[in-house]
Amino acid sequence: MQMKPSVVAFGDNVVDCYMDQEMMYPGGNSLNLATFVQRFGGRGSYIGAVGDDPAGLHIRDALMGEGVDVTGLRVLPAGSTAFCLIGNRDGDREFLGADLGVSIIEPQLRDLDQIARADAVHTGRSSHVDAFLPAFAVRARLSFDFAVIRNRDRIARIAALCYLASFSAGDLGDDEAKDLLEFALASGARHVLVTRGKEGAWLGLGDQRHHQPAVPTQAIDTLGAGDTFIARTLFGLLMGEAPRDVLSVAAFAAAETCRHHGGFGHPAALAVDCSKARPLDEIYGPGETATA
C-alpha cells in the first residue's frame, strides 16, 4: 500500500446543533471519516450534498480548511443542509431530532470514477445507499458503518462486500458483541470492528480476534469518537499496520476526540430552521436510532 492511502467517503453529513450552546459543528459519519483520514496522514475525499445556506457553506469551508478533497461536494441552491439537534440532560447528550435536508443522494458516474481511483470507499447506514454498495465494492475496498443495525439478513448482504465492517455495540453484552463480530466475519467481511464505548473494542480478521480496552480520558463530548475509531482503523489496515497496533492507536485517537465539542471542531453560530426537525425513529426506524 502506498504511504498515503486515499479514501473516498460518500454520503451523510449534518451540522450537529448543540442547543444549549446555540452553536453548530460539521458532522455525520461519512463527513467525519473523510476528515479524520486526512488528519491521520491519508488523502481524504468527501462526496455528498449540502444546501447553499450558512450551514452548508460552513461544512464546505471546514472541509477545505482540513485539506479534504471536496471536488465531489454538491452545493445545491434548492433545499437545506441536514442537521441534528442535540440537547443536554443532566450532563448527558440527548438527540432531539433531525432533518436530512438534501444530504441523501445517489452516486453519479463521476462519483464512481472517483471511487475507482481510491484505495477505499467508506459509507454507512446513515447514507441510505445499500442499493449502490455492489458498485462501490467492485471499484475500491468497501468500509461500511452498520452503526446499530442488527437485522441479520441485511448484515449478511452487506458484510459479504466489506473490506471493513464496523458496528456500534455499546448496547450489547460482551457475548452478544462477539456473536455479532463472528456473524459478520462468517458472512464474508474481511475485517470486522465492534466498538463498545467504555468497554473498548474488538477487531476480527481471519482466525484472529483482538480486544482493545478503552483509553481513559476527561471526556467533554463523545460525539465523533466512534467515527474517529473507524477512520483510524481503516487507515491503519490500509497502511498494513499490525491489528493490535491499529486498535491501540485508534483508541487513543477516539479518546482525544472526546476532549472537545463536535466531531472535529469548527464551531459556528446556530443557523438552521429547527422547526423542520423530525423524531429520529422516523428517520432511522425503531430500534436503529443514532442514540444507541
Q: Tens digit of pLDDT for each residue in 154-165? A: 999 999 999 999
pLDDT confidence of 292, banded at 50, 70, 90? very low
For residue 8, list its beta bridge partners: 45, 121
Q: Give the Cβ contact number of residue 234 at 10 Å.
A: 30
Between the CA of residue 118 and those of 105, 136, 174, what are the distances in Å? 20, 11, 35
- The CA-CA-CA angle for residues 151, 251, 46, to 5°, reads 65
> pLDDT tens digits for 82-105?
999 999 776 567 889 999 999 999
What CATH number should be reported for the domain whose range is 6-284? 3.40.1190.20
Q: At residue 291, does pLDDT exceed 50?
A: no
- Domains of the chain, by residue range, sit at 6-284
Q: What is the mean pLDDT of residues 10-38?
A: 97
SS3 of residue 22 by DSSP? coil
Indicate left, alpha or beta for 148 from its phi (over 0: left) and psi (-120 to 50: alpha). Answer: alpha
Q: At residue 139, does pLDDT exceed 90?
A: yes
Phi and psi at 77, nearest 5°, equal: -70, -25
Single pTM value for the model: 0.95
Q: In what order do the strands lie in the sheet with 83-89?
A: 92-99, 83-89, 14-18, 23-27, 268-269
- Closest Cα to residue 49, out of 12, 21, 19, 84? 12
**Pick from 40-54, 87-101, 202-216, 242-256: least confident:** 87-101
